[in-house]
Structure 1
Amino acid sequence: MAWIVLVVGGLFEVVWAYAMKQSHGFTRLWPSTIAVVGVILSLGLLSWSMRTLPLGTAYMVWTGIGAVGAFAVGILILGEPANAMRLMAALLILSGLVMMKLATP
């Protein structure tokens, strides 16, 4: 159950990062509100998952989901470039997350 909660927390990290981008420096109400609520939910779910998961594992997976997810949103929604080196970097992060999951009892 902790892994599911952690993944959902990581997805909320993607939500708040995207909303923060859309808030234009917290000058727009609804994206700013979504960003703040997303941060609270994301951190709350990370905290809950750390009840049973090791700190290093939980934090690495949470930030990795956020990083790769925000990268994907940037490419798919915001039209950011998707060159080979950027895609390889994201793949390496994703590989590290899978390895961390497999290495955690």
Structure 2
Amino acid sequence: MMKRHGPAFKKELIELAQCPTCRGKAVTKSMFYELACVACNASGWVAAVTGEALPLEELVTQLGLRLQAAQRHINELKHPRATGPEALYQEGNRLGAGGINYTGD
């Protein structure tokens, strides 16, 4: 059954690109001082498809989703999972006497 009205069940990830005006720095250089970039709402990011600035509520959500994905990726790199024969020795299988790890050695 297709959903016909109301908010989406899952938030869609919008592809972001660096702002071409400020080159992702969120500020533009004036004669004497830096001003907040109006092309990207001073965030440094715009929608990749349209090149338009996202509304602030949507921008906060999209940056939060990207940050969570980056943190998951960092955690996976910090704690790699064992693969192959090594995985049998790293994880407990509770097949030994008293529920301890049994490796067959």
TM-score (norm 2): 0.29
Going by fraction, where is helix more abundant, 1 or 2?
A: 1
Q: Which of 1 and 2 has higher RCO (CA within 8 Å, sep 6+)?
A: 1
Q: Which structure: larger Rg?
A: 2
TM-score (norm 1): 0.29
Going by fraction, where is strand more abundant, 1 or 2?
A: 2
